[in-house]
Amino acid sequence: MGYTDQRFDVNLSILFTELPLLERPAAAAAAGFTAVELWWPWIDTPTPARTELDALKNALEDAGTQLVGLNFYAGRLPGPDRGAVSVPGEESDRFRANIDVAADFAASVGCKALNALYGNRVEGVDPAVQDELALENLALAARAADRVGAILLIETLNQPESPLYPLVSAPSAIEVVDKVNAATGLGNAKFLLDLYHLAMNDEDLSEVIEKYAAKTGHVQIADKPGRGAPGTGDLPLEDLLDQLRKAGYQGFVGLEYKAADAAASFDWLPAEARAAR
């Protein structure tokens, strides 16, 4: 078991960011990886020009990399925003404008997982109103994902770094997953289990895995403290991933950690274990 038994992908929105977007797939491939994931790359627009979408598609294909996860439009990320799904007004409108664009792009590159970040609480807006809007938008996103054979991911973030984000425990995200599935009847909403965020919330990671592995559609990792590569902190990531595998999780594990030098940060993973199987 251990790291060599996992299917890893590199998050190109947090690693290799010293390079322009279109050069990052090739950099991941040069490091030995064949699978990648992305936050929504166009922070300023939910509806980029076709030429920009095509350029990214070509960069992924030319590098021989498979996109296995993509965020819907989420506002300024990294930055003050944490998604647009529950944010009334312009941000919700942008999210809706993005739904089919993101789903169609995912379909064009064979990506089967789309992540919708919930969005921060807004001062002066009733949380119940935000939650109602979120459910409407997530149902639309789930239907679009289903149309292209993909799942919709709902993610827990962590309270210290995202104090205005309401989904800061595994149960809070699972509740939304269940509500979306009940609303659509599709069953394609899943939990994005990020071990770093859950650890920052002081959750019992083994218990979360035991309870929710069956509802998990994607996993992300970084060590704690520091959000660095495995081995830079004190999380037993290898053991936790083994536990996930034993619980039946067969999907990808996204490397969503910070590193000053991405290429040099993969020493914890043998080169022959980097290509996704």
* Residues carrying an active site annotation: 155, 256
261: exposed, middle or buried (Cβ count in 10 Å: 0-12, 13-18, 19+): exposed
**Residue 213 to residue 126: CA distance in whole angstroms:** 32
**125-150 burial by CB neighbour count: b if 16+ within 10 A, else e?**
eeeeebeebbbebbbbbbbbbbebeb
